[in-house]
Amino acid sequence: MNYISEKSNLGNNVTMGYFVVIEDDVVIGDNCTIGSNVVLHRGTVIGGNVRIDDNTVIGKQPMRSVNSIFKNEEKLIPAKISEGCIIGTGVIIYCGCGIGEKTLIADTAVIRENVTVGSKTIIGRGTTIENFSNVRSNCKIQTNVYLTAYSEVYDYVFIGPCVTTSNDNYAARSKQRFGQFKGVTIKKGGRIGAGAVILPGITIHEDGFVAAGSVVTKDVEGGKIVVGNPAKVLRYVPEEQLLKNQ
């Protein structure tokens, strides 16, 4: 048995599984497929031709601990999923999120509030994108990536599996950290290999390449490959690998 609010607006040819919950003021476009046990919270907007698999929650309100840097007083807009997206099983997309057209968000990924994701981007299985981050278009973010809050990811970025980023140089041990959180910035065409660690505030410039397993403690200049712990310049990216020539 499904619960569909009378205040919701469903398009034509929308199919759904069992035990779906659609709250007030939800809008669903034409030709959408919604799996079983899906919850669409109040005000969520789903574009046409979207697939949402089983056990996914869209438009979730955040929980706040008593010492969270984020405050409950903030008013969050409903989540919006654009046309042609594919949302996997067990995904959680919080309110205040916007997902661009034809983007794939794979199973068990979590997209926190106040995050935007561009079009034709892939968010891999088990990946978490934290608050106030912006991931642009045509990116590939692979399995189990942790993208910290306040991060900027530009177009055509590749982030390999199990990459970890951070935004707190004080590791939660000083009041000085408040107001100084800074995520990572990965400019157009930047690439990060599997298992790399990127420290707070680091910028990887256009076509910069971080080798697998590296620990990045300084900015990576455009077109350079860095490797090691701490990461150091190995050489320039070969010209045939530069984004402008692809």
pTM score: 0.90
* Spatial separation of the C-alpha atoms in residues 33 and 193, rounded to whole Å: 35
125 pLDDT higher than 80: yes
Give all strands of the β-sheet with 86-87 in edge-to-edge order.
15-16, 33-34, 51-52, 86-87, 104-105, 122-123, 140-141, 158-159, 191-192, 209-210, 224-227, 232-236
**For residue range 74-124, what is the model confidence (pLDDT) as tens digits?**
689 999 999 999 999 999 999 999 999 999 999 999 999 999 999 999 999
For the chain, give the number of residues. Answer: 246
**For residue range 12-59, what is the model confidence (pLDDT) as tens digits?**
999 999 999 999 999 999 999 999 999 999 999 999 999 999 999 999
Domains of the chain by start residue, with CATH: 1-62+75-129 (2.160.10.10)
**Is residue 179 classed exposed, middle or buried when 0-12, 13-18 and 19+ CB atoms within 10 A define those classes?**
exposed
